Amino acid sequence: MLSYTLRRLAFAVPTVLVISLIVFLLLDMAPGDPTASLPLTIPLEVREQIRISLGLGEPVLVRYFKWLQMTLFTEPMHILAGLTGWNIAPEGPRILSWQTRSPVGDIIVQRVPQTLWVVGMGYLFGIMIALPIGVISAYRQYSWFDQVGTFVSMVGFSVPTFFTGVVFILVFSVWLGWFPSMYDTTHVVRDWNSFVFQVKQIAMPVAVLALYNASQISRFMRASMLDNLNQDYVRTARAKGLGEKAVVLVHVLRNSMIPVVTVIAIGIPTVFTGAIITEQIFRVNGLGDALIRAIYVSDWPMVQTITFIFAVLIVLFNLIADVLYGILDPRIRYD
Amino acid sequence: MKTRIALLGTAAAIMLAPAAAMAERERGSSGHLNVIYWQAVSTMNPYLSGGTKEMNAASIVLEPLARFDHMGELAPWLVDEIPTLENGGVSEDLKSITWRLSEGLLWSDGTPVTSADVVFSYEYCTHPEGGCSYRDRFAGIERVEAVDDLTVTVHFEDVTPNPYLPFVGAGSVVIQKAQFENCMGARAPECTDANFAPIGTGPYVVSNFRPNDVIEFTANENYRVPTQPYFATITWAGGGDATGAARAVFQTGEMDYAWNLQLAPEVIEQMEAAGRGTLLVDFGPLMERIELNFTDPSPDLPDDERGTRLHPHPILSDIRVREALSLAIDRELLTEIGYGPAGKPTCNFIVAPPAMASPNNDACLTVDKDRARELLDEAGWEVGSDGIRVKDGKRLELLFQTSTNAVRQDFQALIQQDWREIGVDTRLRNIDAGVFFGSDPGSPDTYLKFWADVQMYASLFEGTDPTPHLEQRRCGREPKPETQWQGQNINRYCNPEYDALWAELSREPNPERRQELVIALNDMFVQDFAHLPLVARGRVSAAANTVGGIILNVWDSEHWNQAEWYRIEE
């Protein structure tokens, strides 16, 4: 198992490098112009100077290697230095965002907590809702609970978050006035009242995301439970005289969880990619928001770096999912 | 209309407020203000951004020597009076201007503002490696000289009838030498702290800046007016979308001021009905137009000849066709559908300031499709079997391109219909704004290359002087391969009379005569149907009814008088 994990890790390195090259070149060839979003009152000669000052004058390979070196070494060191207070930040240039002219790493550090809070909670609540629903739906297949559950998850899965988000805002902030429609990113939790406010302001985006995630995962859970409920070992367990509770929650659930855990693990990178649309609707300043705004204004260093981080996370969590699979299911051993 | 109401409201509020309350208003007495910019602010250094949002946010920290007020008039800001020919501030030969800073001005860190800071601001922005966005404000300057601690003289290379470009307006601010001294040229972006929290002379200082997210401001303790600013703190939120921003002011009341609400007219109307806020609209020089290509964009031509003056346009070179296209467009309808209160149909190239807008071209506001058909008949275009006109076996077909944007696509569809009715077939195309407005000479899709027959976009000029804007349409200023497709004579217009008249304008110091010349140039251009003006577009913002003192200004930053905003007590 260990050698398998190490082998996979070793394979991940060239994968990530190839991805980095593709991401960089694709964006480099994209036809956007970072000065296109400036007002037309700025003359073309000045635009050309701005482009040169952004470093666009150098050959593409030189820029790629500089960027790679900074993404893999300089920026992580700066982030680590910022988090720990150690004096390890290397000297020299950093990846600068074209729109803010400030280091990309700093912006990412500012954005990650909001994404983790809002999107992470949405994912967590989604899982917490989905698992019981999936179990009950499968156990009582075709009951009214199953039918309602199926209907809700179909709605949750097929109605896009930009629709549910706006409906939530309309109902809960405009009509009822319960929750703020905008996320206050400067809010600090100090005492009970400010904690209540924090709960209020993340309630709606979390609810929207939880609904979406729950509908997806509950379907997986239900299908996986159904597969197992008809197995011979279940009949044996019942014949032995085990109670229904023990049969379902101990035997069936544990076996059904194997594929579901994999699905959940593979889904974790989406927590980081942030729910781009949901973040924008509720004005949550997460990573997804940073990414989409950078795309709008052709801020390629920002887009390249964030996309690359996502790529690394996806590779990593796929690996984790595979390893978990082996640990959970003793029948599957890779070596 | 709406502006007037808002202004009257403000005036009424000031008059109705009891005198005692007026006297009580002092620095910080209005508490906290919430501003929402749905396009978030990226940096507080306008020289490194060039965007309007950054310029607006920076304008409450960094200030110019003089700025334009809401009437478009010059107002002294860090000086006591505007230098003119009469008071000797502008030299007789029109080659220099001398500014004298007000006595006792302090930076927000308590140090005095001196002429060295002004000179430094010039050096900072003109550094060849800096990529300063407002470098054109400092074009044509020989040197900037500090005469004494408070006096600065700008020497121009040439005769400059309008010397009010450098250090005038929110794009040409004074920055502190001590703070930016080590941030010149290529090192400018390295000074993140300075760029995010510049030390300024304005009513507020940055206490917290998160790029593309939120800015927190507190009142500047060293602001030159002791009783201002009235709001103690400001949260300047960014992000979300225009609808969300409008909702926060009009419906939920979470925000006090929202910027740039380009929304469908009926959406705004509906939200405004909630009664919490007022829409503020005023009109500046921004105008949506259709450019007609005078050169042949045919893909059969080689790339370095396509869209150049070597090949005149086979259809649009005929003025009768151009006039017919103009006559067929229903500008009133377009304005109503696309912009509502935020637009006015127009037939002029120069739509503002009011004194420079020509009164001579309003005929185009009336749609006359019969006349349009007559003109096309005269030009030899005969109606074919499918209703599309044909001449010498060639169909009257135009490629119409613009940027991707809901309003523009509506306009395209309506205009396509209008033109179809006079027998012109139009193929529509829309291009991502990041590509269309880019200036990459390698891209075939930029508005500069204009490899289409007609295209639609909006343009404007900075400040109140349209001279540089009119200059763009001179012969030889067109984008072409020799200039890497740079140039702003987008439609490749070329008229020696126009050039001669412009040359006269560029030398004319007398304001009245300048106005006449601007109107004459405008008339010559639009009566030649060189392009088709459609809509004069206003600036649209929204303010909560509880905030007073706001005067929308289209000639400068919208926050030009931020220090005077206050909370109306209920």
CB contact under 8 A, B239 and A293: yes
Confidence of residue A334 (pLDDT cuts 50, 70, 90): low
Which pLDDT belongs to residue A298? 83
In whole angstroms, what is the distance from residue B209 CA to residue B107 CA? 19
pLDDT at B21: 46
- Give the SS3 label for residue B141: strand
Residue numbers in B near A180 (CB within 8 A): 252, 254
Q: What is the pLDDT of residue B537?
A: 92
Q: Calculate mean pLDDT across residues B176-185.
A: 88
Take residue A175 and report the two structure tokens written for it.
Answer: 């009509």
Q: Give the Å distances, CA to CA, from B197 to A166, B60, B133, B428.
A: 35, 12, 18, 46
Look at residue A153 and tell me whether its pLDDT is greater than 70. Answer: yes
Residue A154 has a pLDDT of 87
- pLDDT value of residue B19: 43
* Closest residue, chain B, to A53 (C-alpha): B131
CA dist., res. B539 & res. B2, Å (int)? 12
Of B49, B254, B459, the CB nearest to A181: B254
Q: Which residues contact B252 (CB under 8 A, 6 or more apart)?
A: A173, A174, A177, A180, A181
Q: Is A167 on the interface with B (CB under 8 A)?
A: no
Determine the length of chain A. Answer: 335
Looking at beta carbons, which residues of chain B come within 8 Å of A181? Answer: 244, 247-248, 252, 254
pLDDT at B4: 43
Q: Taking CB atoms and an 8 Å cutoff, what residues of chain A touch B459?
A: 40
Task: Tokens 């990459």: give the residue.
Answer: B440
Residue B190 CB coordination number (10 Å) = 17
What mean pLDDT do residues B337-365 have? 90
Q: Are B200 and B170 in contact (CB under 8 A)?
A: no
- A143 versus B462: the higher-pLDDT residue is A143
Query: Cα A129 vs. chain centroid, distance in angstroms?
Result: 19
Distance, in Å, from the CA atom of A127 to the CA atom of B33, rounded to the nearest integer, reads: 40
Is B251–A174 a contact, with Cβ atoms under 8 angstroms apart?
Answer: yes
A96–B440 CB contact, under 8 Å: no
pLDDT of residue B263: 81
For A:261-290, CB contacts with B below 8 A are 280-283, 285, 289-290
Total count of residues recorded for chain B: 570
Instruction: Please indicate whether, in this complex, the C-beta atoms of B132 and A46 are within 8 angstroms of each other.
Output: yes
In sequence order, the 6+-apart residues with CB closer than 8 A to the CB of B398 are: B315, B419, B424, B425, B426, B427, B453, B454
Which among A187-191, B213-217, B351-355 has the top mean pLDDT?
A: B213-217
* pTM reported for the whole predicted model: 0.82
Q: Assign residue B485 a region (left: φ > 0; alpha: ψ between -120 and 50; beta: otherwise).
A: left
Average pLDDT over residues B3-30: 55
Average pLDDT over residues A230-259: 87
Q: What is the dihedral of CA A178, A182, A184, A189, to 10 degrees?
A: 30
The rounded percent of chain B whose pLDDT value lies above 70 is: 96
CA separation (Å) from A269 to A21, A284, A305, A320, B72? 20, 18, 15, 11, 53
Q: Which residues of B touch A40 (CB under 8 A)?
A: 437, 457-460
Judge whether A75 is closer than 8 Å to chain B, CB to CB. no
Q: Is B207 helix (H, G, I), strand (E, B) or coil?
A: strand
Report the DSSP pairing between strands B66-68 and B74-76: antiparallel
- Closest CB to A280 among B36, B240, B460: B240
Interface test with B, best of A40, A100, A186 (most B CBs within 10 A): A100
Q: For residue range B432-445, list pLDDT tens digits in order.
A: 887 888 777 778 88
3-state secondary structure of B399: strand
- Predicted local distance difference test score (pLDDT) of residue A295: 87
pLDDT at B389: 93
CATH of A2-27+108-328, one of 1.10.3720.10, 3.60.110.10, 3.30.70.100, 1.20.1050.10: 1.10.3720.10
pLDDT at residue B370, rounded to an integer: 93
Residues of A in contact with B434 (CB under 8 A): 31-33, 36-37, 296-298
Put simply, the answer to whether B51 touches A38 (Cβ < 8 Å) is: yes
Measured CA to CA, the distance from residue B153 to residue B455 in angstroms comes to 44
- Per the structure block, which two tokens stand in for B363? 């005929």
B243 pLDDT above the threshold of 60: yes
The model's confidence at residue B523, banded by pLDDT at 50, 70 and 90, is very high
Among A24-33, B38-47, B278-287, B324-333, the least confident range: A24-33
Q: Structural domain boundaries of chain A? A: 2-27+108-328
CA-based radius of gyration for chain A: 24
- Please return the burial class of B8, using the count of CB atoms within 10 Å of its CB with bins 0-12, 13-18 and 19+: exposed
pLDDT-above-70 percentage for chain A: 99
In this prediction, residue B13 has a pLDDT band, given cuts at 50, 70 and 90, of very low
Question: Which residues of chain B lie closer than 8 angstroms to A52, CB-CB?
Answer: 129, 131
Q: How confident is the model at residue B16 (pLDDT cuts 50, 70, 90)?
A: very low
Q: What is the pLDDT of residue B8?
A: 43
Residues 6+ apart with CB under 8 A from B68: B74, B75, B168, B169, B463, B464, B553, B555, B556, B560
Name the phi and psi angles at B544, rounded to 5. Answer: -70, 150
Chain B residues within an 8 Å CB radius of A51: 131
Query: How confident is the model at residue A335, as a pLDDT?
Result: 54
Q: What is the C-alpha to C-alpha distance for residues B431 and A74, in angstroms, rounded to an integer?
A: 37
Average pLDDT over chain B, rounded to whole? 88
Q: For an interface test with A, which of B213, B247, B440 has the most A Cβ atoms less than 10 Å from its Cβ?
A: B213
Say if residue B14's pLDDT is above 60: no
Radius of gyration of chain B (CA): 25
Is A32–B432 a contact, with Cβ atoms under 8 angstroms apart? yes
Q: Phi and psi of B104, rounded to 5°?
A: 75, 15
Pairing of strands B425-431, B397-403: parallel
Is residue B431 within 8 A of residue B402, CB to CB? The reply is: yes
User: Would you state the pLDDT for residue B318?
Assistant: 92
Mean pLDDT in residue range B135-142: 84
Which tokens hold the place of B481? 């391969």
In terms of pLDDT, which residue wins out, B527 or B13?
B527
Amino acid at B533: P
> pLDDT at position A248, please?
87
- Tell me the H-state helices in A230-275: 232-239, 244-245, 253-273
CB atoms within 10 A of CB B184: 15
Per the CB < 8 Å rule, is A110 touching B460? no
Q: Which residue of B42, B190, B270 is the best one to mutate when testing the A interface, meaning the one whose CB has the most A CBs within 10 A?
A: B42
Q: Which residues in chain A are closer than 8 Å to B251, comparing Cβ atoms? A: 174
CB contact under 8 A, A39 and B460: yes
Report cis status (omega within 30 of 0) of the bond before B285. no
Q: Does the structure show a pLDDT above 60 at B156? A: yes
Q: What mean pLDDT is predicted for residues A39-68?
A: 81
CB atoms within 10 A of CB B216: 17
DSSP string, B514-559: HHHHHHHHHHHHHHTTSEEEEEEEEEEEEEETTEE-----SSS-TT
Among residues B259, B296, B303, B295, the alpha carbon closest in space to that of B277 is found at B259
pLDDT at B11 over 70: no
Range in A55-59, A74-78, B154-158, B293-297 with the lowest mean pLDDT: A55-59
Count Cα neighbours of B533 within 13 Å in the Cβ-side half-sphere.
30
Chain-chain contact of B247 with A177 (C-beta, under 8 angstroms): no
Test B436 with A48 for CB contact under 8 angstroms: no
**So what's the pLDDT on residue B100?**
92
User: Given this model, what pLDDT does residue B5 score?
Assistant: 44
Query: What is the β-pairing status of strands B151-156 and B204-210?
Result: unpaired
pLDDT > 90: percent of chain B: 48
Residue B268 has pLDDT above 70, yes or no: yes
Query: Which H, E and C letters describe B60-112, residue by residue?
Result: CCCCCCEEECCCCCEEECCECCCCCCCCCCECCCCCEEEEEECCCCECCCCCE
Residue among B172, B258, B66 nearest B462 (CA)? B172
ipTM for the assembly: 0.77
Closest alpha carbon to B288 in B408, B439, B409, B448: B408
Question: How high is the pLDDT of residue B17?
Answer: 44
3-state secondary structure of A322: helix
Q: Collect all residues of chain B within an 8 Å Cβ-Cβ radius of residue A38.
A: 50-51, 133
Q: Do B443 and A31 touch (CB under 8 A)?
A: yes
- Residues paired with residue B66 on neighbouring β-strands, in sequence order: B76, B168
Assign 3-state DSSP to chain B and report helix, strand, coil percentages, each to 5: 30, 20, 45
> How confident is residue B3, by pLDDT bands cut at 50, 70 and 90?
very low
For residue A145, CA distances in Å to A134, A161, A213, A221, B470 come to: 10, 24, 19, 15, 71
A22 CB-near residues (< 8 Å, 6+ apart): none
CB spacing of A33 vs B239 below 8 angstroms: no
| Residue type, position B175, single letter | I
Element (H, E) at B382: strand B382-383
> From the DSSP assignment, how many helices (H) and strands (E) are in chain A?
15, 0
Question: What phi and psi values does residue A71 have, to the nearest 5 degrees?
Answer: -70, -40
Q: Assess contact for B70 and B282: CB atoms under 8 A.
A: yes
- Cα A286–Cα B540–Cα B282 angle in degrees, nearest 5: 155
Q: Give the count of Cβ contacts less than 8 A between chain A and B.
A: 177
Q: How far is CA B15 from CA B20, B260, B413, B549, in A?
A: 12, 29, 49, 12
What CA–CA distance (Å, rounded) separates A100 from B59? 17
Q: Which of B186, B254, B461 sits opposite A41 (nearest CB)?
A: B461
Predicted local confidence at residue B33, as pLDDT? 93
The alpha carbon torsion through B388, B392, B393, B398 (nearest 10 deg) reads: -50
Give the model's pLDDT for residue B6.
45
Interchain CB distance below 8 Å, B239 and A285: yes
- Does the pLDDT value for residue B296 go beyond 90? yes
Res. A52 pLDDT band, cuts 50 70 90: confident
> CB contact, 8 Å: A292 with chain B?
no
pLDDT of residue B570: 67
- B15 compared with B99, residue with greater pLDDT: B99
